Amino acid sequence: MTDTLTVSDAEGAAQLIAFGMRPRQHPSQDAGYETLVRRYHQDDGFQLLTARIAAGLGLRVVKVTSAAGAVLAAAEGSVFETRMEDYARFSRHRGDGEKVMHGIIHLAVATLVFPRPADLADDGHLGRVTATVVDQTVREICRKLKLRADESGRDEDAPSETPELERAWRAYARRPPTATTKDDRAAPNSTSAMISRALRFLTDQGLLVALEDPDGETIYRGTPRYAVQIRELASTAAFAELLSMGVVPPITDPGGTLRVTLPPARTAEQSEGGGHV
């Protein structure tokens, strides 16, 4: 551990935080970034200094690795916090109902990219997803939830422990997968459009990488940074609830309930062409 920290050390710690705030930047792309990541693990004093500077800025250092880089989380009320209204402007969602629907979409993306605990624990896991697969997944979940409600004899308007969530499932099921406006433009309130915006947002945040597909639909690959974020999310009740429903089986299982298909899995070496984040 370094006994005496200097102004130069503080500058290096601040630079590491700055790199972490560029989510699509990867240590392998910058020798200085790579050096700072290495020092973070070798020097306890530098590690503590980085954490204290981040805390002063309203940030928390979640993890620093050569694969994910510096992963930061904003404290509540921090100037760096991504507020719901900011995401609302990006995703163009309308009202609280759509806000919950976007939450469902993000949960579905997470469980499809990391469908098993072993996948989430494996830093080399390269789960992939497309907008079509996400829509198929959520609609299948909606179908199963409706079936369970019918079997239990529960009226659709009966009170529930999670009324807002139940309304969101039903609202999603009623939305068309695709739609056009009167002037033949893609309707922004279709579920496919909502999913596409969510996937682009995750890509902009360095959590997914967009890969070109010869069949035309963009494939999105998970990143180590996304794995770190989802490990944090996995402790939340909403994520646990979705997994406990038993309606999102491993997509690698040919006998999976959803029976959705993805292109063959790529190795880490094959996926390097998609770029780092």
Task: Give percent of the chain with pLDDT exceeding 90.
Answer: 25
CA distance linking residue 219 with residue 203, whole number of Å: 11
Report yes or no on 274 lying in a domain.
no
Q: In this structure, are 46 and 88 located in the same domain? A: no
Q: In this structure, are 252 and 116 located in the same domain? A: yes
Selection from 214, 197, 201, 224 nearest residue 66 by Cα: 224
CA distance linking residue 223 with residue 204, whole number of Å: 12
Task: Give percent of the chain with pLDDT exceeding 70.
Answer: 65
Q: In this structure, are 123 and 172 located in the same domain? A: yes
Task: Indicate the number of domains in the chain.
Answer: 2
Give residue 170's Cα distance to chain centre: 23
CA distance linking residue 100 with residue 167, whole number of Å: 9
Domain containing 147 equals 84-263
- 108-161 pLDDT tens trace: 888 888 877 778 778 788 889 999 999 988 888 777 777 776 776 655 544 445
Report yes or no on 60 lying in a domain.
yes
Q: Tell me, what's the pLDDT at 31?
A: 95
Residue 32 has pLDDT above 70, yes or no: yes
Residue 269 has pLDDT above 50, yes or no: no
Q: In this structure, are 177 and 217 located in the same domain? A: yes
Last-in-domain residue among 17, 48, 74 = 74
Report yes or no on 2 lying in a domain.
no
Q: In this structure, are 93 and 186 located in the same domain? A: yes
Confidence of residue 46 (pLDDT cuts 50, 70, 90): very high
Mean of the pLDDT values across residues 50-78?
90
Q: Tell me, what's the pLDDT at 237?
A: 55
Q: In this structure, are 63 and 103 located in the same domain? A: no
Q: What is the DSSP code (8-state) at residue 58?
A: T
Q: In this structure, are 117 and 228 located in the same domain? A: yes
Name which of 69-73, 184-188, 257-261 the model is least confident about.
257-261
Q: In this structure, are 68 and 150 located in the same domain? A: no
Mean of the pLDDT values across residues 230-239?
63
CA distance linking residue 210 with residue 220, whole number of Å: 5
Last-in-domain residue among 74, 102, 121 = 74
Q: In this structure, are 23 and 152 located in the same domain? A: no
> Which distant-in-sequence residues (6+ apart) come within 8 Å of 26 by Cβ?
33, 69, 276, 277
3-state secondary structure of 17: helix
**Tokens representing 233?**
């999310």
Q: In this structure, are 52 and 137 located in the same domain? A: no
Report yes or no on 130 lying in a domain.
yes
Stretch (H or E) spanning 64: strand 59-65
Confidence of residue 261 (pLDDT cuts 50, 70, 90): very low
Give this prediction's pTM.
0.69
Give residue 210's Cα distance to chain centre: 13
The residue among 209 and 147 whose pLDDT is bigger is 209
Q: Tell me, what's the pLDDT at 88?
A: 56
Report yes or no on 271 lying in a domain.
no
Report yes or no on 206 lying in a domain.
yes
Last-in-domain residue among 33, 53, 74 = 74
Report yes or no on 275 lying in a domain.
no
Q: In this structure, are 115 and 161 located in the same domain? A: yes
- 165-187 pLDDT tens trace: 566 677 778 888 876 656 555 56
Q: In this structure, are 144 and 254 located in the same domain? A: yes
Mean of the pLDDT values across residues 32-53?
96
Report yes or no on 184 lying in a domain.
yes
Residue 3 has pLDDT above 80, yes or no: no
Max mean pLDDT among 2-11, 21-30, 161-170, 174-183 falls in 21-30
Stretch (H or E) spanning 220: strand 219-222
Name which of 73-77, 129-133, 219-223 the model is least confident about.
73-77
Mean of the pLDDT values across residues 33-43?
96
- The phi and psi torsions of 243 (rounded to 5 degrees) equal -65, -40
